[in-house]
Amino acid sequence: MSERVIVVATDGMPCGSAAVEWAASEASIRGCALRIVHAYTWDRRESQFDIGNEDVDVARVLAAAVVDDAYQRARALAPDADIWTDTLIGPLLPRLLESSRTAEMLVVGGEVVRDAPCPVVVVRSERHPVA
């Protein structure tokens, strides 16, 4: 893996997807690795449903779908970049701050992150990132 990493947060919503696309392009330009993170809160009792004889962990399935979509978007824009995904359980802000401790940059969609240990780029739409 590259030592220089851009961390991007996504929630699967349009701003999160735009953030992934912007971060993938930036990682390609800078020659950085890209780490895509999705944080979610999870309560086992509330997120499982009995379907026949199988338990379906809805929260984890949805989180996996979010990061898979983000990975596919990023890979299309940065085919040569080192890209990996993480689904993190817990509140978003603390997980983002942990994830970006050694990052070159943190990219988010629509949310302003204060006290980050690195520069933050807020992507509000596909065309207008705010640094």
Q: Where are the domains of the chain?
A: 5-130
- Fold type of domain 5-130: Rossmann fold (3.40.50)
CA distance 89 to 79: 28
Report the length, in residues, of the chain.
131
At 129 the pLDDT is 53
**Residue 109, token pair as written in the block:** 């969609």
Name the pTM for this structure.
0.84
At 74 the pLDDT is 98
pLDDT tens digits along 85-116: 999 988 889 999 999 999 999 999 987 788 89
**Residue 107, token pair as written in the block:** 């990219």
Q: Which of 121, 90, 119 is nearest to 104 (CA)?
A: 119
Residue 1 has pLDDT above 70, yes or no: no
DSSP character for 114? Answer: -
